[in-house]
Amino acid sequence: MIELVRPSVDLAASWWALVEAFDGATIHGSGLRPGDGDRLRDPEVFAEWVDWLAGMERSDEPLPEGRVACSYRWVLDDGRVVGTIAVRHSLTPSLLAEGGHIGYAVGPGDRGRGVASSALALALDLAHRRGIDLALITCDVENVASSRTIERAVRQRGGFLEDVRDGVRRYWVVTDEATVGGA
């Protein structure tokens, strides 16, 4: 069963297995920046990073320049980290163009099993609890799997493809399950 959990040092081994599966590729929705991997291998630094991710969710915390409050979650399947997802509480001009409210990634070995669709549904529920009525979700035009995942959410909850800009598909998706069928 797919669930979203806050990042935790208790899941460090499973997290690193996911990172290794990505083999250096970007892990959307993780908060992991290029070049951070080696530094984060230190357990103390990893614990500080996990705390930093938690702090990004609190609107009372000062945020780094250009960042917005964000709920980072790890996607678990039977207790194993299989992906990441982030729900950004607001949009900057950059996120409005590309990035959106929700970013996610599923490990290569766990794709094609509905993990992204399940995680996205849970993230949309979280976005709704955060006061977001319509969530912007984007993907590259070449990312057919992600566009199918987002389009499935549009069909199930309501929403629309606003446009394609600079190779990025931009969808708005209803977050409130109670409006499904009425949106």
Residue 65: what pLDDT?
80
- In this predicted model, what pLDDT tens digit does every residue of 69-93 receive, in sequence order? 999 999 999 999 999 999 999 999 9
> For all residues of the chain together, what is the average pLDDT?
93
- In the chain, how many domains are there? 1
- pTM, whole model, 2 decimals? 0.93
> CATH number for the domain including 19?
3.40.630.30
Phi, psi of 104 (to 5 degrees): -150, 160
Residue 35: what pLDDT?
82
* 114 — pLDDT class (breaks 50, 70, 90): very high
**74: containing domain:** 2-179
- Axis crossing angle, helix 115-129 with helix 144-157, rounded to the nearest 10: 50
Taking the C-alpha atoms of residue 85 and residue 88, their distance in angstroms, rounded to an integer, is: 10
